[in-house]
Amino acid sequence: MKIVIVGPGALGSLLAAFLIRSKEEVWLLDYNKERSQEIAQSGIKVEGVSGNWQVSPKISADINEIGPADLLIISVKSYDTKQAISAIKPLIKEDSAVLTLQNGIGNIEIITEAIGSERVIAGVTNLGATFIKPGFIRHAGKGETAIGRIDGKMTVKMRSIRQIFNKAGLETKISRDIKGLIWSKLIVNSGINALSAIVRLNNGRLTEFEGTKKIMRETVTEAMRIAKRKRIKLLFDDPLAKVEAVAEATGPNISSMLQDVLRKKRTEIDFINGVIVRQGQELGIPVPVNQVLFDLVKTIEAAYKLTSKEDV
Ranges 42-56, 127-141, 258-272, 288-302: which has the least confidence:
127-141
- Of the chain, the end-to-end C-alpha distance in Å amounts to 50
Name residue 122's beta-bridge partners.
100, 148
Known catalytic membership, residue 185:
yes
Domains of the chain, start order:
2-176 (3.40.50.720), 180-303 (1.10.1040.10)
* Sequential DSSP letters for 55-119: E--EEES-HHHH--EEEEEE-S-GGGHHHHHHHTGGGEEEEEEEEE--SSSSHHHHHHHHH-STT
CA–CA separation, 271 and 292 (whole Å): 15
Q: 3-state DSSP: the chain helix, strand, coil percent, rounded to 5?
A: 50, 20, 30
Q: What is the pLDDT of residues 68-109, one digit of tens each?
A: 999 999 999 999 999 999 999 999 999 999 999 999 999 999
pLDDT tens-digit readout, 171-210: 999 999 999 999 999 999 999 999 999 999 999 999 999 9
Question: pLDDT class for 224, splitting at 50, 70, 90?
Answer: very high
Catalytic residue among 185, 233, 298, 305: 185
